[in-house]
């Protein structure tokens, strides 16, 4: 997540990265890590937690034990006030 917050300092074109993730998903929709990266982008850069949540759900369908995606999903649910749904994830 640090790269997203400091992409200007690292001389990273984050919009270009988003384009590459979208192109990668057009070619292969089975890569959970790509879905996760795109979800991070929408959450941290576009400030769109709803879209990030939808994309994370796809990542977690592909890779059930994806800890980073699970933690971000938990964070998004708690931030949105969906405490009960977030706690259900822990079961």
DSSP annotation string for 45-83: TS--HHHHHHHHHHHHHH-TT-HHHHHHHHHHHHHTT-H
Residue boundaries of the structural domains of the chain: 2-90
Token pair listed for 74: 């938990």
Question: Is the pLDDT higher at 49 or at 16?
Answer: 49
Q: For residues 38 and 56, what is the distance between their CA atoms, to the nearest angstrom?
A: 9
Q: What is the CATH number that goes with domain 2-90?
A: 1.25.40.10
* Cα first-last separation, the chain: 26
Q: What is the pTM of this model?
A: 0.77
pLDDT in tens, 52-88: 999 999 999 999 999 999 999 999 999 989 999 989 8
Average pLDDT, stretch 2-12? 46
Measure the CA–CA gap between 10 and 4, rounded to whole angstroms: 10
Which residue carries 């690292």 as its tokens? 10
CA–CA separation, 52 and 35 (whole Å): 9
- pLDDT of 33 strictly over 60: yes
Which of the pair, 15 or 38, is modelled with greater confidence?
38
């Amino acid at each position: 997540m640090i790269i997203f917050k400091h992409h200007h300092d690292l001389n990273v074109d984050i919009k270009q990265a988003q384009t590459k993730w979208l192109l990668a998903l057009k070619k292969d929709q089975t890569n959970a890590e790509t879905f996760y990266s795109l979800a991070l982008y929408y959450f941290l850069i576009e400030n769109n937690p709803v879209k990030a949540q939808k994309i994370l759900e796809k990542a977690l369908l592909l890779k059930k034990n994806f800890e980073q995606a699970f933690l971000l999903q938990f964070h998004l649910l708690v931030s949105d006030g969906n405490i009960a749904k977030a706690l259900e994830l822990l079961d």
